[in-house]
Amino acid sequence: MTESLDRRGFLERTAATAGVVATAAVSARAQEAASNKIVVGVMGLSRGRSLAGSFAKLPGVEVKYCCDVDTKRAGSAAESMEKAGHKKPQAIADYRRILDDKDIDALVCATPNHWHAPASIMACTAGKNAYVEKPCCHNPYEGEVLIKAARRHNRCVQMGNQRRSAKRIIEGIKLVHEGAIGRPYYSRSWYADSRGPIGKGVPAKVPPHIDYELWQGPAPRQPYVSNRLHYTWHWVWHYGNGELGNNGIHSLDICRWALQVDYPVRVTSSGGRYRFDDDQETADTHVVNFEFEGKKQIMWEGMSCNRHGIERSGYGVTVHAEDGTMYLGPGGFVQYDNRDKVVREASADDGQDDHIANFVAAVREGNPMLLNSEIEEGHKSTLLCHLGNISHRTGRALHCDSSDGHINDDKEAMSYWKRDYEPGWEPKV
């Protein structure tokens, strides 16, 4: 692995100074931003539509391209940007036009998971920065290559785990790190939803407005089937990472951040497909445990087909310590003492706009150290998802190296570390 950035120290310094910048300084930075334009291209226009809007409303930021292999989605996204009062982006199908454009400063990658790391690696190689949606890679190997690409080309690469920039979540984590609830040793996380079945797909003709060859990109070719695009690929291993990689990454990232841990030493998984008999391959009911050195543990519970989650919330994290508990969820944070009485609480948003503003500021400065979720941190959290899925697929506990997360003494498990690629598409630095 590459040399780590001093992430924890930076985050603590950032949290300690949050909210003290004077209005005059903010205004000055806005004026400076307007004269130092950042130009981006957005690739993948499901999640990417929201990201494009957040980028475009920042001072001095232009979204030049809306890119999607589905030309209807590309055109619709470009039109919606114009209707929102922004300069109309060019609607394109091929992401390579973004990388070839000398005016582009950053690629925003919000594609299916199998594209996340390969596209971001190519962006770094082309001299662009990258904002890559979670999970930052389809498999652990890609995450390691993406870190190397960011380092070699000195690019800012940020993963879209936006709660790293949510002010109240930062405040809650800072309280944990300062000892407000004592020594933390266990963090519990969950995601609950009520997803329906996807049925049984059949071979079908590719719609004329979709470039299916380019949609597959780095993945070995498979025939087009009727129930895979545009979202249900999440539940097929060839392209997605299940609910653990889709939404588990958000809460696991907060758990790891709160406990100040990097790589686990033991991973166990239980669960499977319990609800529907359809084409989904990934677990719809899933519990994963991660053990770390220093007597610390993280648990994730995923229920894709039942919305009644822990704390009666569809998403959240609790951090358990010697002197109390911290809840961190979509509504902010709540601190409890050892008698389970509320000590303090605060509401929060999800941090998306602040996360994107943080990325743009780092790109302007050319300094990855300013990122709230620099790609090495994003990879560490994403790796937890991959290890949980590998444990699930092999049906046994994994014993890992605490220095890099690699799986010890298990050749079959390590075979999942890297995927096969379509010839000519393997990621390269």
Q: Under a CB-based contact definition with an 8 Å cutoff, are residues 130 and 154 in contact?
A: no
Could you tell me if 133 and 195 lie in one domain? no
pTM over 0.75: yes
156 and 171 inside one domain: no
Residues 243 and 188 placed together within one structural domain of the fold? yes
Check residue 348 and give its pLDDT.
Answer: 79
Considering the domain boundaries, does residue 339 fall inside one? yes
Distances (CA, A) of 227 to 25, 104, 201, 243: 51, 35, 5, 18
The CATH number of residue 258's host domain is 3.30.360.10
Residue 10: the pLDDT is 41
Residue ranges making up the domain that contains 193: 167-199+227-350+381-409
Q: One digit per residue, pLDDT tens: the chain, 429 residues?
A: 444 555 444 444 444 444 434 334 444 555 555 569 999 999 999 999 999 999 999 999 999 999 999 999 999 999 999 999 999 999 999 999 999 999 999 999 999 999 999 999 999 999 999 999 999 999 999 999 999 999 999 999 999 999 999 999 999 999 999 999 999 999 999 999 999 999 999 999 999 999 999 999 999 999 999 999 999 999 999 999 999 999 999 999 999 999 999 999 999 999 999 999 999 999 999 999 999 999 999 999 999 999 999 988 999 999 999 999 999 998 799 999 999 999 999 997 889 999 999 999 999 999 999 999 999 999 999 999 999 999 999 999 999 999 999 999 999 999 999 999 999 999 999
Query: What CATH number does residue 141 fall under?
Result: 3.40.50.720
Cα–Cα distance for residue pair 138/149, rounded to 1 Å: 16
Q: Within a domain: residue 426? A: no
Q: How far apart are CA 154 and CA 11, in angstroms?
A: 20
Number of domains the chain is built from? 2
What pLDDT is recorded for position 23? 36
Peptide bond into 379 cis (omega under 30): no
Distance CA(374)–CA(157), nearest Å, equals 6
**Domain match, 177 and 46 both:** no
C-alpha 345/C-alpha 129 separation (Å) is 36
Q: Let me know whether 87 and 232 are in one domain.
A: no
Half-sphere exposure of 340 (CA within 13 A, CB side): 1
417, part of any domain: no
Residue 414 and residue 394: Cα distance in Å, rounded?
Answer: 10
The answer for residues whose C-beta is within 8 angstroms of residue 422's C-beta and 6 or more apart is 216, 217, 218, 219, 220, 221
User: Can you tell me the distance from the alpha carbon of 143 to that of 246, in angstroms, rounded to the nearest whole number?
Assistant: 16
Q: Side-chain half-sphere of 22: how many Cα atoms within 13 Å?
A: 3
